[in-house]
Amino acid sequence: MKPFHFWMPTEIVVGVDCLNELAQRSAPFGNRPLLVTGRHSARSSGAFECVLSQLVGTTLVEGIEENPSSQTCERGAELCRKAGCDFVVALGGGSAIDAAKAIAVLATNDGTCDRYFGSNQYSAAPLPIVAIPTTAGTGSEVTPYSVLVDSRTRTKRTIAGKGLFPRLALLDPGTTVTMSRATTIYSGLDALSQAMEGMVSKQYTPMGDVLALEVCRVVAQWLPVAAEEPAHLDARMQMLYAAMLSGCVIAQSGTTLVHGMGYPLTLEFGLPHGLANALLLTPVFQYNARFLPEKVAAIAHALGVVHGDSPTAEEAAANVGQALHRLFQRLKLSPAARDAGVDGTQLQTITGALVADRSRFRNQPGEPTAEDVLDFYRRAWNGTP
């Protein structure tokens, strides 16, 4: 077995109405909370009022954008320091949780976000973080990453460090029932992408592989149900569970080229993060099958495509493409990036910019060339299986 290290310090509470336990469970962190939330989802589900009713004297940072900027986080940290807050509560999707993490760092460390991009760049421990996800996708409630848009360079960059692991995560399916169908699907596909990428990452762990295959199984079974029956609490619970597991996976392994390629589709063409990743899964994982056929075949099997013993690389590639496209069909989702608004004439340009940043390739199996990356984009644009 490959030697590995698995660090997961977050207390995870899962259950219907577990949000009502917030006051009791967060009491050890302090008595002057900063609440960081987005624009709509927490209010529409009733979670916002539930949190405020339990935390007296809360300072509020709201309106976090879908892709939080470093500027937004810097303003939030200034408010946090002025109010003397001693812990941070994140209520929302991955964007609100990522913003809360950056604010927790800046509240105890001088300077702006650009000083802390990278791994463990801060000296003082961030404020304790409580994460309450209202979407089921990013798994940010159990990761040590804060992914932001750098306001200066307009690129996605990451603040990372063990202090960014939330101390507590409350996963209550009632907070997710008001998600739109589109958000439900894109969030769930983000969880799927993270699990699949974590399993083939150069930093994979054997323990993470077990969790990743469980994510694939749960997403295949329950994401279509959650999309069509928004009030189905069991489906919502299952998807929160899958998203959390996907976060556990990438907290150890990181992501691969799929995420690196997905960021330009979000920044340049406005695709939701989970959709951008999902559209790239088929071409990139058919490439991955050349190097890790057994793992790619296991992913296809967990997604519902049965295969024989010891599948070849070609069989694994065909199976994973079939499995993903079958899932897309069940979700009534086009597998073609052109249908999502991606301009095919810009693929060469974004490929050049991506290939220039070798950090995007650090966990990726094989040694994909610029021609390979352009081919991945073109195949995703066409939606070819």
pLDDT of residue 306: 81
Helix H or strand E encompassing 316 = helix 313-330
Q: Percentage of the chain with pLDDT > 90? A: 91
pLDDT of residue 42: 74
Which residues are registered as beta bridge partners of 118?
A: 159
Residues 6+ apart with CB under 8 A from 260: 354, 357, 359, 360, 361, 364
Closest by CA to 296, choosing from 262, 322, 319, is: 319
Helix H or strand E encompassing 34 = strand 33-37
pLDDT of residue 103: 98
Query: In this structure, what DSSP letter does residue 201 have?
Result: S
Q: What is the distance between the alpha carbons of residues 191 and 136, in angstroms, rounded to a whole number?
A: 8
At residue 383, the 3 state secondary structure works out as: coil
- Beta carbons within 10 angstroms of residue 136's beta carbon: 33
Which domains does the chain carry?
A: 11-175 (3.40.50.1970), 181-382 (1.20.1090.10)
pLDDT of residue 311: 86
pLDDT of residue 20: 97
Q: What is the distance between the alpha carbons of residues 184 and 269, in angstroms, rounded to a whole number?
A: 20
Phi and psi at residue 47, to the nearest 5°: -65, -35
Phi and psi at residue 232, to the nearest 5°: -75, 100
Strand ranges across the sheet with 155-160: 118-119, 155-160, 145-150
Contact 166, 244 (CB under 8 A): no
pLDDT of residue 155: 87
Which residues are registered as beta bridge partners of 374?
A: none
* Amino acid (1-letter code) at residue 242: A
Task: Please list the ranges in the chain whose pLDDT falls under 70.
Answer: 41
Q: What is the distance between the alpha carbons of residues 159 and 164, in angstroms, rounded to a whole number?
A: 9
Contact 91, 50 (CB under 8 A): no
pLDDT of residue 41: 67
Q: What is the distance between the alpha carbons of residues 377 and 268, in angstroms, rounded to a whole number?
A: 14
* Beta-sheet pairing, 145-150 with 155-160: antiparallel
pLDDT in tens, 292-328: 999 999 999 999 998 777 889 999 999 999 999 999 9
